[in-house]
Chain A
Amino acid sequence: MMCQAAFVYSTKFLDYHFHSDHPFNQKRILLTKDLLEKAHLLSENNIIEPRRATQEELELVHDKAYINAVSKAGDTGLSEDESMEYGIGTEDTPAFPNMHEASSYLVGGTLAAVDAVLQGKSDHALNLGGGLHHGCKRKASGFCIYNDGAVAIKYIREKYDLRVLYVDTDAHHGDGVQWAFYDDPNVCTLSIHETGRYLFPGTGQVNERGIKEGHGYSFNLPIDAFTEDESFIDVYEAAFRQIVDYFRPDVILTQNGADSHMYDPLTHLCTTMATFDHIPMLAHDLAHQYCNGRWIALGGGGYDMWRTVPRAWAQIWSVMKTGGIQQGMLPPEWQSRWQAESPLTLPGSWHDDQRMVPTIPRKADITEKNKKILESTLKYAINKQIHP
């Protein structure tokens, strides 16, 4: 299936840079783009420029005082009290020069992706600079300043009046987006993540189902540490299929954090590239089945930036562009271009050798527990109008 797809990119994305030792590094986007170009999957005419989100657009989700604080932090700096209040200047989200501008381009990138799809210019659009799902109304957190996904959903609601399904497969709970639409029945959120028992942010339990009119439109699937491909793919597929059937969205927005991979240093899930084939393949299928193809995909976490993220994110584009995933060897020019900079040996092929997966003694328990969680998550996700 050949679809029209847009890839949002500008070197301005690389300006969202905390410091050289920080685990969040947007060079991942450049590595992905270069991989796609060398694999002849991405050409100049696929790329659209991000715009800079306006103050009014940021205010769809964030407080004016917070936006001012971000501007000030990247300019003259904040006082100790202001830093604490707004979560800027912490180890997770340190201030950096022009942080407001850099963050606004990430949000604008996601808005450009939304417009490309909803104005009918593309079937799908990908903004790997976005997916900063922890950003809160008036607080930076978890490497995120502005929450581009939340701004984009509000923007879709106000400008296009469409019902949005947000699906977040980052290993961390998509809390910022969930809370932003917790009482909204026109926005349905699904987050699949490592249980918050140990992992940041700690929320995302099954019983977080939304409040008021929004009750029944927040779904959480907290899976056990050391979950492997098979169980991850099982619960992802079952949850996504049932929820899309239940909610019947007009458009699907996915957050594609690539940190559930076993190489990721910050999390404890145990997936391989096989999971990252299934994630975009199913999103693509369901977008065509339910939403006339309307699918916007964002980036997100992913801290094994050399080996895992470029391959995982390149597959999203491959699915958007060609309808399928890439197999076999990576273009050797990509390795030779980046190997000198990478502290780790770059992979040679699109997929992992399954023999590298460690033996997890509790695998059967983990699989069973994830199944139970899935049942509980989906308990009320039955569309009575369609399935009386």
Chain B
Amino acid sequence: MLVEEIMKKEVITLPPTATIADALQLLQENPIRHIPIVDNENQVIGIISDRDVRDATPSIFDEHTNHQAFRNEVHSIMSRPVTTVHPLDLVEEIARVFYDEEFACLPVVRTNQLIGIITEKDMLHTLIQLTGTNVQSSQVEVKVPHRPGILPEVASIFGEQRTNITSVLMYPYNDDPNYKILVFRIQTMNPLPVIQGLRNAGYELMWPNNIAEPKI
């Protein structure tokens, strides 16, 4: 998945000469926490976060608030140089940047022009989609040996039952490198035939599993 598929294309920006008061207003009026600072040619020359703005504003405990601070221009508090990403970068790589650098937001730049913005929130939304929970579905988890060809073998059982798969995830099994957990979300309210098929084929299910039976 590419950055351009999940980035926001309408970006709220400020010129370097805007004041901190302008920035504060934008942050209050919009559901955003970062403002890229762009020059006349729409090139990103800095970025400010809500934290930068807060640091630059007087404390609410100060009795004699100095309104002078609000008149400073944003270039005086912006971070630079700015780490940016390309629209054709992979989302997985960007996740790495978010994790390692502890950024929460990256401007997307093509030929020196700001064309979008991607945030941790967009990334989490993508994760939700990857898990398939945004489509009506049931979940089945299968423990499988970690070897070539296992995925099509398991998946063929879903195919035989004409059950549509909406998402597949593969997790490590605890710390055992010999096994993997396959998580399928399948588009059916009745997973019983698939579960039976998997059990008949000898697969171990992590869910459903150990369902307590009536005692009498």
**Interface of A toward B, CB cutoff 8 Å:** 23, 90-92, 134, 141-143, 172, 175, 196-203, 226, 262-263, 265-266, 268, 270, 353, 355-360
Contact = CB atoms under 8 A, between A and B. Distances in A.
A263 B139 CA distance: 20
A358 B214 contact: yes
B96 interface: no
B187 interface: yes
Contact of B138 (A200, A262, A360): A200
Nearest to A172: B189
Contacts of A355: 215-216
A246 B132 CA distance: 34
A interface secondary structure, majority: loop
Interface of B: 132-139, 161-164, 185, 187-193, 207-208, 211-216
A356 B133 contact: no
Contact of B190 (A23, A201, A263, A268): A23
A196 B138 CA distance: 8
Contacts of B213: 358
B212 A196 contact: no
A198 B136 contact: no
A92 B189 contact: yes
Contacts of B193: 91
A199 B164 CA distance: 15
B73 to A, nearest CB: 38
Most chain A CB atoms below 10 A, which of B136, B137, B190, B208? B136
A359 B210 CA distance: 12
Given A91-B161, A200-B189, A265-B192, A134 B215 contact: no
Given A91-B190, A92-B190, A134-B189, A198 B214 contact: no
A197 B183 CA distance: 12
B216 A202 contact: no
A202 B190 contact: no
Given A141-B189, A197-B139, A201-B137, 6 more contacts: A23-B192, A92-B187, A92-B190, A143-B189, A200-B189, A353-B216
A263 B161 CA distance: 24
B215 A266 contact: no
Contact of B189 (A142, A198, A357): A142
Contacts of A226: 212
Contacts of B211: 268
B215 A198 contact: no
Given A196-B133, A266-B189, A357 B215 contact: yes
5 contacts: A23-B192, A91-B161, A134-B189, A268-B208, A357-B215
Nearest to B166: A202
Nearest to B211: A268
A200 B137 contact: yes
Most chain B CB atoms below 10 A, which of A175, A196, A263, A359? A196
Most chain B CB atoms below 10 A, which of A142, A202, A203, A356? A202
Contacts of B135: 202
Contacts of B212: 226, 270, 358-360
A90 B136 contact: no
Contacts of B216: 353, 355-356
Contacts of A357: 214-215
A29 to B, nearest CB: 19
A226 B212 CA distance: 9
